[in-house]
Every structure is written in C-alpha cells, then in structure tokens.
Structure 1
Amino acid sequence: MPYTKAHKNNTRERILESSFRLFAMKGFEGVTIDVLMNDCGLTRGAFYAHFKSKTELYSEALKFRANSTKLANLKPEGVSNKQWLCLLLNTYLSLEHVSGERSLSCPLAFLATDINMQDKTIKTAYSDVYYGMNTAIMKYASSYCDCDEQDVFSVTAMMIGAVAIARTLQSKESIEHLLAACRREAGIKLGGI
C-alpha cells in the first residue's frame, strides 16, 4: 500500500528538521546522507524519495528552518508593529537563541560560517532567506519610524553576527553583554524599540 501524502510530508519535514540540526552542528561536509538518515530513523533509499542531492537538502533545510522562525510568523492581532519587532529583536538576541533552542534557531546565524564554502545553489538560498528577513523587518519598522534599507541591513547583519559570535564564546557573562549591546544598538536604529 502506498504512503499517504501526509505521511510523505511528515517524513520530509522530519528529514529537513534533522538535517538542519546536524548541518548547524557539523557543517555541510560533516554530515553524510547515511548519518542523516540514521538520525531520522530512515533508510538511505528514503532520502532519494525526497531529495536529489545533499546540496538540495541543505538549501531546502535552510529555507524550511527560516519559515519556522518567529520572524516568519504572522504578527498577532492587537500587537503593534513596534511591539512585535521589539519582541522579535529580543527573542533573536537572547541566550535561548544562542544556545540553539529548537524553535528559535535561525539558519542565517547557525550556518553563517558554513555557507561561504558551499556552491551557488546553497548561497542563493541563504541570500534569499537573508533578503526575506530584511524585507520583513523593514515592513514592520517603516510603519512607525524613518529607518531606511541601509539601517535594516546593518541591524540584521549585526543580529546574525552577534548570534554567530556569541555561539563561540565560553563565558555566559560575555554572551549576555554582547547580546545586550546589540539589542540596544538595533533598538536605536529601529526607532527606539
């Protein structure tokens, strides 16, 4: 009996979730298809039912994770754009995000050091996610302040860099200081949030 579409979608999502986690920990070269599929509890053959190559999987995992972040969520009713952006900024620049809490992990920060060594397909997927992040932030910020595209680019680059750097620091106090400084600077650029 063939698998249902829902079963296939659930399996695909399981592979994407597992692959993002493994790529974030080990990088593209550190993850084999066998290791990935073993982590999912699936066979190597199941991989090829969903993806043509590890490169395609990496690109899809990046986009999948980006679409599951808080920034990709719709703003709740009754929350102003400024309040929502403040919440997003504080969540992104938090200890929970740096530690890799499953629901927060942004592929832009978690894969930043690995992307430069990848092919054009992967770099394009990363760039698309980055531009999407900028577009979303600009949409919220432009409704209440006079920031421009350059302000948003500088804020998102600082946010991504701060989380990537914080993940390498050994001292919790240093991490907290870095995140607080970046929250303050980002808040200033985005209209005093």
Structure 2
Amino acid sequence: MPYSPQHKQQSRQKILASAYRLFTLNGYERITINQIMADCQLTRGGFYAHFSSKSELYTEALKFGTTASPLVLGNLKSLSTQHWLTELFDGYLSIEHIRGIKPCPLAFLSADITTRDRAAKAAYKNAFLGMNKRLLALVKQVMPFTTEQMFALSSMMIGTVAIAKTINDDKVALQLLRATRKTIRLTLNGI
C-alpha cells in the first residue's frame, strides 16, 4: 500500500531537518546520505523518493533551515524592538552559538559553500539577503538604517561567528564575540 501524500511530506521534512542540522554542523563532505537517513530514522532507499542527489539535498536543506527558523529569539510581541534586537545580537554572538546551539548556516557554512554548486550558492545568497531584509525592517523601527549598513553589520556578525568557531581557545573566542557585540551596540547607538 503506497504512503499518503501527507506521510511523504512528513518524511521529506524529517530528512530536511536532519540534513540541515548535520550539514550545518559538519559541512557537506563529512556527512553521508546514510548518516542523514539514520539520523531521521528512515531507510536509505527512502531518500531517492525525495531527492535525486546529496547535492540537491544540501541545497534544499539550506533553504529549509533558513525559512523554517527565521530570526526568532523568544516572543517578539512581548519585547520591545530594541530589547528583541539586543537579545538577537547577544544570542547570535555567544559562545553557545559557536558551539552549535541553533547554528546559523550563514556562519557555519561560509567556507563550505564556496565548494558547492550554483544552486547551493544561490540558496546561500538568498538566505543572506532574506536575513538582512528581516533585520533591516526591525532596525528601522528603532533608527534610520540603510541596506549597506545592514550588510556591513550582518557580515561582521557572520564573520565573527565563523572565525570564533574555528578558534580552539575559548578566551580568544569570547574576546572576539564581546568586541563585536560592543561594536554593534555602538553602531546602533547603544542597542
């Protein structure tokens, strides 16, 4: 008896969630289809009902992760925009984040994406642009800000996390995170 369309969609979502998490934490080369399918408790044979290749899955997982977990750090309705932005920047630029707690694919895959195909690079670019658009809309509620300023700020955040996660020294990583948080607050007039 064939599976229902709903069951197939649920299986696809499980595969995407596992792939997103595993690729983000380990990169493309260090993860296999077998590992992804085992992680989501499905068989390897089921993989090909949803994706034609590991490369396609990588691209789709990047899209999934950046749309399934938009910039949310708590309930936005219960916080002022200024307080929410502070929470966002502090959470993003934290030791927990560089250790892989809710990892951002923009930071965690910044080096990995350079060796991927055009579709993956396009998904990464769209994730970056989407994040900037959402952040800019929030920052503009607090102060005037341009797209170029947002690009600089988000690139600083992403770069800081990318570098801090590669440094095998918590003291230096914490200094880097703290310095970037301070610079962002100065840039955003004390947020």
TM > 0.5 between the two? yes
Residue of structure 1 in register with 2:178 after alignment: 180
Residue of structure 1 in register with 2:9 after alignment: 9
CA offset at residue 178 of structure 1? 0.7
- TM-score (structure 1 length as normaliser): 0.89
CA offset at residue 5 of structure 1? 4.0
Residue of structure 1 in register with 2:123 after alignment: 125
Residue of structure 1 in register with 2:65 after alignment: 65
Residue of structure 2 in register with 1:149 after alignment: 147
Instruction: Check the 8 A contact 2:27/2:112 in 1, yes or no.
Output: yes
Residue of structure 2 in register with 1:28 after alignment: 28
Residue of structure 1 in register with 2:85 after alignment: 85
- Structure 1, unmatched stretches of 5+, are none
- TM-score (structure 2 length as normaliser): 0.90
Measure, in 1, the Cα distance between the counterparts of 2:169 and 2:72.
30
Aligned letter for 1:76?
Answer: L
Residue of structure 2 in register with 1:97 after alignment: 97
Measure, in 1, the Cα distance between the counterparts of 2:58 and 2:188.
32
CA offset at residue 181 of structure 1? 0.7
Measure, in 1, the Cα distance between the counterparts of 2:26 and 2:141.
40
Query: Deviations 1:143-166 (Å, cap 9, x if unpaired)?
Result: 221221121111110111111111
Residue of structure 2 in register with 1:170 after alignment: 168
Measure, in 1, the Cα distance between the counterparts of 2:179 and 2:70.
22
Instruction: Check the 8 A contact 2:160/2:176 in 1, yes or no.
Output: yes
Residue of structure 2 in register with 1:138 after alignment: 136
Instruction: Check the 8 A contact 2:59/2:123 in 1, yes or no.
Output: yes
Judged with a 3 Å threshold, the aligned counterparts in structure 2 of structure 1 residues 119 and 72 are, in CA distance, closer, same or farther, namely: farther
User: Which stretch has the larger CA shift, 82-91 or 31-40?
Assistant: 31-40
CA offset at residue 75 of structure 1? 5.5
Aligned letter for 1:167?
Answer: K
SS at match of 1:30: coil
CA root-mean-square deviation = 2.0
User: Which stretch has the larger CA shift, 26-35 or 142-151?
Assistant: 26-35
CA offset at residue 72 of structure 1? 5.2
CA offset at residue 83 of structure 1? 1.6
SS at match of 1:167: helix
Query: Deviations 1:83-132 (Å, cap 9, x if unpaired)?
Result: 2111111111111111101xx21110111110011111000000000001
Is 1:112 the counterpart of 2:133 in the alignment?
no
Instruction: Check the 8 A contact 2:18/2:39 in 1, yes or no.
Output: yes
Q: In percent, how many aligned pairs have the same letter?
A: 42
Instruction: Check the 8 A contact 1:20/1:62 in 2, yes or no.
Output: yes
